[in-house]
Chain A
Amino acid sequence: MIMNITDISPWNLAAGYILFTIPLGIILWLHVPMFTQTIVSILRMTVQLLFVGFYLQVIFRLNNPWLNCAWLLVMIGVADISIIRGCGLKMMKFVLPLFVALIVGTSLPLLSFIGPVLKLPNLLEAQYVIPIGGMILGNCLRADIIGINNFYVSIRKAEKSYLNSLAQGARLREALRPFTGDAFQAALMPTVATMATIGLVALPGMMTGVILGGANPVTAIKYQIAIMIAIFSGTSITVFMAILLTVKNNFNTYGLLDHSIFKKQKRRSKAPDFELPPKQGEGFAQK
């Protein structure tokens, strides 16, 4: 690949910030209460990207497989916490199973992309692992927020219907299957829609990056197809595993959803807040 991309000088980039005055002006004119939030977001974007830019320079220069893995794990950890916060769920019950789901869902397509597809001798080459891993992870994050939120919120909303399935003799897996299917569909729908319109509506990020990097459009298309395969399989694995692995922590032995997983502001009074015996064991009954 020929790297002939034109660099942007700091002054030119700073001048680019002038464009922000248009949306900020509209926000002020319409009295939309998001001026401060937008300013904070712009500052965060700048600081975070500057930090990542410098950090990645170091990582690319060292190109140490362990350091690359560690950086990926940090990214996964941040995604993990963001997903749980985004879903309005309690951290402790989700942090570990979701972390495992994200590791598997990110690393499996990532290694397939770099190994069998790109045929790179070093599977942990920083130049590929970090940006491609980030793209897969970013999509997993979005899909997980939709999928997990949809799964737990719809069970809470349709709890009577869920309990009805249990009363009809369904095992936990059987009673949860329709909710899992709906959550999976909701999580993957944006990627399916993107795949259906890709190239027609807009040139996707990966392709644009490769073209800006100086490669010819056909190479860029091949990269884009490969990344879409990785994203779609990665999001599917993560969402499915996240639901599968979190269910064990969040349903009791009776198959009842633990309502304490929802943060206070999202709870509804209709939830059955029955009080458990002082010492809760396998069964409630005194033998």
Chain B
Amino acid sequence: MKPAPAIEINDLSVRFDGKTVIDTFSMCIEPGEKVIITGKSGSGKSTILRSILGFIIPYKGAIRIENELLTGKSVWKLRTCMAYVAQEPELGTGLAGDILSRPFSYRANLHLKGSFDNVPELMERLLLPNEILNKDIAALSGGEKQRIAIICAILLDRGIILLDEASSALDKAATLAILELLDSKKMLTVLSVSHDDKWLSFSDRIIELRGGSTGI
């Protein structure tokens, strides 16, 4: 039997202050698929990711995550199926090490505490020195913050990862390290917003948004 789609969006419309940003957008992403969303500024790329996370309530349409309809009730459970990395991650305040361990104090992630042992390996893979863990998060560069956010997302061991320009502040070597890491996780579904050619060549499929009304 064919597994249920990881993410399924049907006729999604999002309006901001009377202006339609996303108009009847549909897409289906299979488990393990690596999909990139591109499009010009304001075409609604980030809005799609934020709608999937339940941070924007669409005007119309339906979103299903692993075959479960996203509603105000199911969103809490569905968020624990996904990890998210924003373009300019705001991870809170404190030391980078504490920021990494904070999500594991949430009840939904208590069973994942063991995955914290993978931090040194992930730091090395993403070309980050271990000393960074003892630094205040506010003192880190944009690229370091992005990599900390990606490590945090990987440690959460979700089936789906949503990335919003997650390597925009990174150099070529660090971006390739991230792509290599994501590529090594065959079962991980990746939905990433990016304009970077390196991401485009990494993907299984590219979805191009044309702003307002969309095309795939």
Contacts and interface: CB of A to CB of B under 8 A. Distances in A.
B57 A169 contact: no
B178 interface: no
Contact of B152 (A158, A168, A178, A252): A168
Given A167-B53, A272-B55, A277-B60, A160 B90 contact: yes
A285 B54 CA distance: 11
In which size bucket is the chain A interface? 20 to 34
B82 interface: yes
Contact of B57 (A160, A254, A287): A254
Nearest to B49: A167
A118 B11 CA distance: 69
A282 interface: yes
A171 B77 CA distance: 9
Contacts of B106: 165, 168-171, 174
Interface residues of B, number: 44
Interface stretch (B26-34, B67-75, B195-203): B67-75
B55 A169 contact: no
Contacts, number: 125
A283 interface: yes
A171 B86 contact: no
A275 B15 contact: yes
A206 B55 CA distance: 50
Given A164-B89, A275-B16, A286-B62, A169 B72 contact: no
Interface of A: 158, 160-161, 163-171, 174, 178, 252-256, 272-277, 280, 282-287
20 contacts: A160-B90, A165-B106, A166-B79, A168-B152, A169-B103, A170-B108, A174-B105, A252-B57, A254-B57, A254-B75, A255-B54, A256-B55, A273-B16, A277-B60, A283-B69, A284-B59, A285-B58, A285-B61, A285-B62, A287-B62
Interface of B: 14-18, 53-63, 69-76, 79-80, 82-84, 86, 88-92, 102-103, 105-109, 152, 156
Nearest 8 CB-CB pairs, A to B? A283-B71, A253-B72, A285-B62, A169-B108, A160-B90, A275-B15, A168-B103, A167-B84
